[in-house]
Structure 1
Amino acid sequence: MIHEDSPHRSATPGWLAVRLPVHALWLSLAVLAWFAIAAFAPRFGLLDWRAGLGFMVMTAGPLLLGLAVLVAALALALSLRSRPRGPWWKAALALAIPVIIGASLLQLRATAARVPPIHDVATDVVDPPQFSASTMALRDAAGANPLSPYNVPLGQLPAWQGRVEGAQAIQTHADLIGQHYGRLQPIPTGGRDPAQVYDAIVAAMADIGLRDIRRDPDAGIVEGVARTLAFGFRDDVVVRVRDGRIDLRSASRVGVSDLGYNAARLERLSRAIERRLATP
């Protein structure tokens, strides 16, 4: 007769209950490193963003996450059942890492479904601020997205053909910006001296982290470049001063949907400009 406190209570080999959590943790850390390389190597020119986002994250990423979850869950179960217990906290940490990464990816997918599938946003949808010839040359050299007219339905634009359907296919940029980003409005200059206005815009752009800031009072614009932390995506920003108002525009160089980043950037820039204008 075998008593409950018998060493034969668990059929789990002790070495497996001890070693598998360790291996599971190393696997999860390797998966974490995989995603970190995918996200940050493109920013430093070590990897093309298409390989990082397309293959490493979208294609191989789910498979690696699934494997890490499976191994970690098995390790956790074995470590909790063994007597004495194995290093269950290592298995729990190994399980938490891919779960958190997977939840973050699902959150991004949910965001993509919620925001409009556009990558060009402006406060003036009838006559959006135009980028300078030098900025357009940089975009062309980088193979960037073409700037599409705001009054043409998405379904008629090459970049969106086959990507949108139903109501979205007949909506224009102007429709979608008004529907989703109606809070974006021009900023009145309040009769301030033009030099003060341009100084405020330049300072505000620097405040939110834009780079390569260039002002052209003759053209009535100030331009800058934003760069995302992950993948190093570059987005172009232009601010126009005309007829006593300040209009803003932000356009991504790559991608179809910007996940709402351009609108969020313009909100931050608007607040920064207003703060700078309010400063004596």
Structure 2
Amino acid sequence: MKNMPWHTKLVLALTAFLPLYFIIAALGAKTGLWGWQFGLGAMTFTGGPYVVGIAGILALISLIIGLVNWSGRKAEKADGVKRPRSKMVVGSAILGLIVVAGFVLFAQSASSTAGANPIYDIATDTGSPPTFSAHVMKQRKAEEANPVNDYQVPFGELDKFAGSAPEFAIQNHAQFITENYSDLRPLPLGGASRADAVAAVAAAMGSMSFDDIRQDAEGGRVEGVAVTFWYGFKDDVVARIGDNEIDFRSVSRVGTSDLGANAARIAELREKVAAQIGQR
């Protein structure tokens, strides 16, 4: 380490710092050290590309220097002063570039996923989606959360989706969910009673580590709050237990794209409930 050139030391330091930087941004938001706008917006979306870019440029410069000096000869030069092997310089630079490439690919993948999942509100019944209780709506209002929209209103008429591409703006939630999440469907009750179904949903939410699980056996409604591991984003989830089936809805409190999280959550919750009441 002593004989490493400054640029190699810096490359290794930045290679170790990159994942730590994004972990700090995410967990700082989750633990309340700063708001999600700072953790996701300022640190991740705004500052992140600069940090990754600087690390990539430095690693590339270090690689060029290492390749220029590459000779495969002995580590000590004629003056007797110990020098770092070019192999070590090149290897460190390549490691740095691999880490940078990993973050770039991850960002591209996230961008692609966001494009494929541009909404934050998913339900298994698009004609009459389950509604939230006054308690949940009060919480959402207090946090200035995303609006819970009418599924029949075109996206272009909703403030949250203002400026969307024309082909998207003319659609509404019902159409988009039907076309893009066709695998999501209500869960038949079968022989299970409503009371059993309410208990099964609550238990399933508990197994998924939901917070603030609320049961309304008489009204046939179970609600809970899913909190994401990274950034601590909150999504409100409700299950409506009817006479013959259970419908689910999951709505993010912040953000426009949910990166597919709400649909995936509904699918997992449905599967867990189905296993408990013996349905598919």
| Same fold per superposition (TM over 0.5) | yes
Q: After the TM superposition, which of the residue ranges 244-253 and 92-101 deviates more from structure 2?
A: 92-101
> Deviation at 1:248?
0.2
**Paired residue for 2:113?**
111
Q: After the TM superposition, which of the residue ranges 176-185 and 195-204 deviates more from structure 2?
A: 195-204
In structure 2, distance between residues paired with 1:199 and 1:114: 34
Kept in 2, the 8 Å contact 1:220–1:242? The answer is: yes
SS of corresponding position for 1:35 = helix
Kept in 2, the 8 Å contact 1:189–1:197? The answer is: yes
**Paired residue for 2:266?**
266
In structure 2, distance between residues paired with 1:41 and 1:278: 41
Kept in 2, the 8 Å contact 1:214–1:223? The answer is: yes
**Paired residue for 1:247?**
247
TM-score normalized by structure 1?
A: 0.89
Kept in 1, the 8 Å contact 2:30–2:232? The answer is: yes
**Paired residue for 2:128?**
127
SS of corresponding position for 1:41 = helix
**Paired residue for 2:35?**
48
> Deviation at 1:193?
2.2
What is the identity percentage for the equivalent residue pairs of Structure 1 and Structure 2? Answer: 40
> Deviation at 1:258?
0.8
> Deviation at 1:108?
0.3
SS of corresponding position for 1:50 = helix
> Deviation at 1:181?
0.5
**Paired residue for 2:78?**
none
- 1:130-175 per-residue CA deviation (whole Å, 9 max, x = no partner) reads 111101111111110111100000000111112x121100100000
In structure 1, distance between residues paired with 2:47 and 2:248: 38
Kept in 2, the 8 Å contact 1:208–1:272? The answer is: no
In structure 2, distance between residues paired with 1:222 and 1:146: 20
1:149 lines up with 2:136 in the alignment: no
1:232 lines up with 2:232 in the alignment: yes
**Alignment root-mean-square deviation, CA:** 1.8
Kept in 2, the 8 Å contact 1:21–1:94? The answer is: no
In structure 2, distance between residues paired with 1:105 and 1:170: 28
- 1:68-114 per-residue CA deviation (whole Å, 9 max, x = no partner) reads 01111222333343454242333232222222112111110011122
In structure 2, distance between residues paired with 1:233 and 1:113: 19
> Deviation at 1:27?
2.0
Q: After the TM superposition, which of the residue ranges 141-150 and 57-66 deviates more from structure 2?
A: 57-66
2:32 partner amino acid = G
TM-score normalized by structure 2?
A: 0.89
In structure 1, distance between residues paired with 2:194 and 2:151: 28
1:64 lines up with 2:64 in the alignment: no
1:200 lines up with 2:206 in the alignment: no
**Paired residue for 1:35?**
22
In structure 1, distance between residues paired with 2:197 and 2:45: 44
- Mapping for residues 5-20 of structure 1, pairs under 5 Å: 18-20=5-7
- Mapping for residues 175-194 of structure 1, pairs under 5 Å: 175-194=175-194
**Paired residue for 1:10?**
none
In structure 2, distance between residues paired with 1:170 and 1:193: 41
> Deviation at 1:35?
1.4
For structure 1, the 5+ residue unaligned runs are 1-14
1:261 partner amino acid = A
1:278 lines up with 2:265 in the alignment: no
In structure 2, distance between residues paired with 1:261 and 1:97: 26
**Paired residue for 2:213?**
213
In structure 1, distance between residues paired with 2:155 and 2:247: 23
